[in-house]
Chain A
Amino acid sequence: MFRNLYLIISGAITLLSIWMIFIWVPTEVNQGLVQRILYVHVPFAWASMVAIIAVAITSLMFLVTKKILWDNLSQSLAEVGVVSAIVMLFSGIVWAKPVWGVWWTGEAKLTTALILFLIYCAYLVFRNYFPPGEARNRIAAIIALIGAIDSPIIYYAAQIWQQNHPQAVVGPLATQESSLSSEMVITLLTCVLAVTLMFIGIVWVQYKTVSEKGLKNVQIS
């Protein structure tokens, strides 16, 4: 009952956000149609950052409590978070080329996002390559925590790097500031809500799958 209601509500909000992106929201004056990509990019960026923080928290909870549910949740969050990060990175570079004139810059946020994406890919590869068991879960949790500790250092390094390497963006809109009208803010917030609900739903389904797989492995052994 709750699951069906959740599906209906998140489906309706997703459809609403699609209508708002393509039909309702006015076109931004400086960036034109390409600005609409940000209504996808920003929510997925938000989802991937939330996933990273959540993986660190659930990993810490697993190390402290040693309850398998926290480890299953970490794995689910990491898997969905990595997919969100791929959407974020891809939509970001598609937006950047016409607006900044380059696919990529050494800007601190971009560098940090890319490196964190690589750390979480490594986390998932580790989970696949290491023999399953308590040791794997414990070490995976430690890797997630190390990634979380490293992220402010990466951001700091990227900021110093940025100071030494001024941006080479030469696109037509590289130096023009954009401002958001109220319709744009409402559209953005609706998209964030839609992606958040989708994210929670997919994490929940993934968590159930991972937990059931774990239980089956225990029964077989």
Chain B
Amino acid sequence: MKNWIKILLTISSKDLIVELKSKETIVTITLFSLLVVSIFAVTSSNPSNLSAEIGAGIMWAAVVFSGSIAMSKLFSHEEKNETLNAILLMPVPIELIFFSKILSLFLFLTISECFIIAVFSILFNSNPLSIYILTAIPIFNLGFSCVGTFFGIISSKSRSNEILLTLLLVPIIIPLIMFATELTKAGLLGISSQNFNLWLSLGILFDIIFLVVLTFLFGKIIEQ
């Protein structure tokens, strides 16, 4: 078990070191999301009056699309440089490689979202520090990273990989987007969320189901 954690952290740290040098993924996610949020801020006559429902939807739509662009760039680099093939030759369980990718993406998304939520709160005059938003972020990021890694590796081997990843990823994670939007809306309004327990159970259920199923199926998409 200790060995597995060590291997997991070693493979993830490779991605982190590459990211620290290039800063490509985090910058892509952050800047693109900020652009989307800014468009809505400048085109709204009074951003402070924007309804929480629309605001929450804008924020998570920005995160989803910028995240999928960043993921497609990340995996297409790996495919070009054949780094994924090199990692797959390592004598480690293939599931650990999958988990390490998920961990790296989870961290990149979380860091980016801290900036995005801060700017969003300034532009739209809302309160970012809500237990609902803080709950939504890790659960959303885990599911998004898991499904994104799976489809990212698939789409990296095809043409038009950016559009293919987005087309595959977004419909599958719709329940997660609804979960995050609903909790963010409650957080922005500063009220208690209706059906919080139901939404929380949905988010956790989504993450568990897809983590198990995609880990099982990961070997099938990798086999030559």
Could you list which residues of chain A lie within 8 angstroms of chain B, going by C-beta atoms?
Answer: 63, 115, 118-119, 121-122, 125-126, 129-131, 135, 138-139, 142-143, 145-147, 149-150, 153-154, 156-158, 160-161, 163-164
A96 to B223, CA, bound (A): 47
In the complex, the 7 A-B pairs of residues with the closest C-beta atoms, listed nearest first: A157-B175, A118-B171, A122-B167, A130-B158, A119-B171, A129-B158, A157-B178
Find chain A residues with CB under 8 A from B158 CB: 126, 129-131
Contact between chains at A157 and B174 (CB < 8 Å):
yes
Other 11 A-B pairs with CB < 8 A, given A130-B164, A156-B175, A163-B195:
A126-B158, A130-B157, A130-B158, A143-B168, A145-B217, A147-B171, A153-B202, A153-B206, A157-B202, A158-B178, A160-B182
A153 to B167, CA, bound (A): 19
Find chain B residues with CB under 8 A from A149 CB: 209, 213
A143 to B169, CA, bound (A): 10
Task: Evaluate whether A138 and B220 lie within 8 angstroms (CB atoms) in the complex, with A118-B171, A131-B158, A163-B195 already known.
Answer: yes
Contact between chains at A115 and B195 (CB < 8 Å):
no
Q: What's the least CB distance linking A172 to chain B, in Å?
A: 27
A160 to B164, CA, bound (A): 29
A56 to B175, CA, bound (A): 20
Find chain A residues with CB under 8 A from B198 CB: 160
A130 to B164, CA, bound (A): 9
Find chain A residues with CB under 8 A from B202 CB: 153, 156-157, 160
5 contacts between A and B (CB under 8 A): A131-B157, A149-B213, A153-B175, A153-B209, A157-B179
Find chain A residues with CB under 8 A from B81 CB: none
A129 to B129, CA, bound (A): 43
A14 to B195, CA, bound (A): 47
Query: In the complex, which of the residues A118, A125, A131, A164 contacts B194, with contact meaning CB atoms closer than 8 Å?
Result: A164
Interface string of B180-215 (1 = CB under 8 A from A): 001000000000001100110010011001000110
Contact between chains at B195 and A142 (CB < 8 Å):
no
A119 to B179, CA, bound (A): 19
Contact between chains at A126 and B175 (CB < 8 Å):
no
In this complex, what residue of B is CB-closest to A149? B213
Q: Does any Cβ of A come within 8 Å of B2's Cβ? A: no
Q: Does any Cβ of A come within 8 Å of B159's Cβ? A: yes
Contact between chains at A153 and B171 (CB < 8 Å):
no
Contact between chains at A126 and B178 (CB < 8 Å):
no
Contact between chains at A154 and B175 (CB < 8 Å):
yes
Q: Does any Cβ of A come within 8 Å of B221's Cβ? A: yes
Q: How many residues of B contact A (CB 8 A)?
A: 29
Q: What's the least CB distance linking B100 to chain A, in Å?
A: 21
Q: Does any Cβ of A come within 8 Å of B160's Cβ? A: yes
Find chain A residues with CB under 8 A from B159 CB: 129
The main secondary structure of chain A at its interface with chain B is helix
Contact between chains at A164 and B195 (CB < 8 Å):
yes
A146 to B154, CA, bound (A): 13
Q: Does any Cβ of A come within 8 Å of B172's Cβ? A: yes
A115 to B167, CA, bound (A): 11
Find chain A residues with CB under 8 A from B209 CB: 149, 153
Contact between chains at A138 and B221 (CB < 8 Å):
yes
Contact between chains at B199 and A160 (CB < 8 Å):
yes
Find chain B residues with CB under 8 A from A121 CB: 167
Contact between chains at A150 and B175 (CB < 8 Å):
yes
Interface string of B143-171 (1 = CB under 8 A from A): 00000000000100111100010011011
In this complex, what residue of A is CB-closest to B159? A129
Contact between chains at B178 and A163 (CB < 8 Å):
no
Contact between chains at A146 and B172 (CB < 8 Å):
yes
A156 to B164, CA, bound (A): 26
